[in-house]
Amino acid sequence: MFNTILAAQAGNPGALYSSLFMFAAVGLAFYFLIIKPQKKQQQEYQKTMQSLKVGDTIITRSGLRGKVIELNDKTIIVETGKNNTQLEFLKGAINHIENNSGEYSSNTTNFGDSPVGDLSYGEDERFINKLNELKEDGKDYDLLLEDVFEFIVVENDTASISIQNKFRLPEERVNNILSQLEELGIVSAEDEYGKREILVDPR
């Protein structure tokens, strides 16, 4: 681009201004589309971490849901599961806080820099009870199965990309969740176009 500007300056001053304008426009676009959203997200992350308190329910990037029982400078101790297992995580492992108005989704290279939206899915007892009826005893299911079940029914959307964007999950994990929902008879297998039908609506 600098070679273009120098050539324009030598032959046509008008072209020089045009090139400078284009260069400035690219710089502004880069700032507003990339740098500014990143700064905003970092500020929201810091605000959320400052508001994190004992008793908050969090979900880690790996999908583990638990209650914060101890806060340290860089780590948290979470209680999770039926046996109230205690695990220690770095604060950076938090994906979002479920019951905090400063809810935040961490920055990941897979899903861009925008904070996650409302993640209130998974709290409707009708969906939870239906899953409990269908689940097999002794089999492990994804911790976000209830959330995704409610989301796809409420939004009438079984597309993998929609679930990835909503819950900030990697494609492999979303496919595993959809496979579990298929095994439970909640969604159909993919058709020739890769689409699934919703077979169970507990509302």
Backbone angles phi, psi at 133, to 5 degrees: -70, -35
| Cβ count within 10 A of residue 80 | 18
Closest to 58 in 3D by CA, of 69, 50, 72, 44 = 69
Query: Quick one: DSSP state of residue 22?
Result: H
The string of pLDDT tens digits covering residues 21-68 is 787 778 777 777 777 677 776 677 677 777 788 888 888 877 778 888
Does the pLDDT value for residue 118 go beyond 60?
no
The residues spanned by each domain of the chain are 15-51, 52-98, 125-184
Q: Which three-class secondary structure state does DSSP give residue 6?
A: helix
Q: Please compute the mean of the pLDDT values over residues 118-140 and round it to a whole number.
A: 78
pLDDT band at 73 (very low <50, low <70, confident <90, very high): confident
Q: What is the pLDDT of residue 138?
A: 77
Q: With the CA atoms of 181, 98, 101 and 108 taken in that order, what torsion angle do they form, in degrees rounded to the nearest 10?
A: -80
Q: Which three-class secondary structure state does DSSP give residue 18?
A: helix
On the question of a common fold for 52-98 and 125-184, the answer reads no
Does the pLDDT value for residue 104 go beyond 90?
no
pLDDT band at 142 (very low <50, low <70, confident <90, very high): confident
Closest to 98 in 3D by CA, of 63, 131, 129 = 63
Does the pLDDT value for residue 90 go beyond 90?
no
- Any idea which of 89-98, 110-119, 154-163, 189-198 has the lowest mean pLDDT? 110-119
Q: What is the pLDDT of residue 13?
A: 61
Give the pTM.
Answer: 0.45
Q: CATH assignment of 52-98?
A: 2.30.30.100
Backbone angles phi, psi at 28, to 5 degrees: -65, -40
CA dist 13 → 3, 6, 19, 23 (Å): 14, 10, 10, 15
Residue 27's H or E segment, with its range, is: helix 13-30
Cβ(95)–Cβ(106) below 8 Å = yes
Q: CATH assignment of 125-184?
A: 1.10.10
Rounded CA-CA distance 190/203 in Å is 24
